[in-house]
């Protein structure tokens, strides 16, 4: 485990950045409201950000390691399937993760 001083410094930096990002628009709400570019960015960025994060997770699936990526790919299919069917985020996440966990730990795969 890294030393506590490093952890504390890193955590303080991350908290400062996060709180700053959350507080800034409230301080600048009058200025930002008139910016057409930020209006566009506010509409496009949330979808783009989660899509890029999802893509980074998919790219991180290790096709050469234990299970050959089968648990993750099956979990992904279960997540999307459950979400298109039930539209309940918690159910979809639980279903996908459950499939992935069972396949990764309880089923012998190549």
Partner 1 sequence: MGISRGQRAPHLAAAAGDAGVIWAGLFALGIGFGVLTTGYGFAWWVAPVLSAALFAGSVEFILVGMLAAGAPIGAIVLTTFLVNSRHLFYGLTFPLHRVTGRLGKAYSVFALCDEAYALTTAKDPAALSSRRILWTQAGLHASWALGALAGGLVGSTLLAGLEGMDFVLTALFTVLTVDAVRESRDWTTLGLAIGTAVAAQAFVPGSMLLAAMGAFTAALVVRHRLARRRAKGEPGLGEPDAVGRAAVEPSPEALEAAHRA
Q: Applying CB under 8 A, which residues contact partner 1?
A: 1-2, 6-7, 9-11, 13-15, 17-19, 21-26, 29, 32-33, 36-59, 66-67, 71-72, 75-76, 79-80, 83-84, 88-90, 92-94, 96-97, 100-101, 103-105
CB of 32 to partner 1, least distance (A): 6
* Token pair listed for 65: 């390691």
The smaller minimum CB distance to partner 1, of residues 49 and 63, is found at 49
Residue given tokens 């009058």 in the structure block: 30
CB of 11 to partner 1, least distance (A): 6
CB of 103 to partner 1, least distance (A): 8
- Please say whether the beta carbons of 100 and 66 come within 8 A: no
Q: In whole angstroms, what is the distance from residue 83 CA to residue 43 CA?
A: 23
């Amino acid at each position: 485990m890294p030393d506590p001083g490093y952890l504390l410094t890193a955590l303080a930096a991350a908290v400062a950045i996060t709180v700053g990002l959350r507080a800034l628009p409230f301080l600048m709400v009058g200025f930002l409201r008139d910016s057409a570019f930020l209006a566009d960015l506010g509409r496009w960025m949330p979808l783009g950000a989660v899509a890029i994060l999802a893509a980074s997770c998919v790219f991180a699936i290790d096709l050469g390691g234990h299970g050959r990526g089968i648990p993750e790919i099956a979990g992904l299919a279960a997540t999307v399937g459950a979400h298109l069917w039930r539209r309940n985020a918690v159910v979809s996440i639980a279903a996908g993760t459950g499939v992935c966990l069972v396949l990764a730990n309880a089923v012998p795969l190549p």
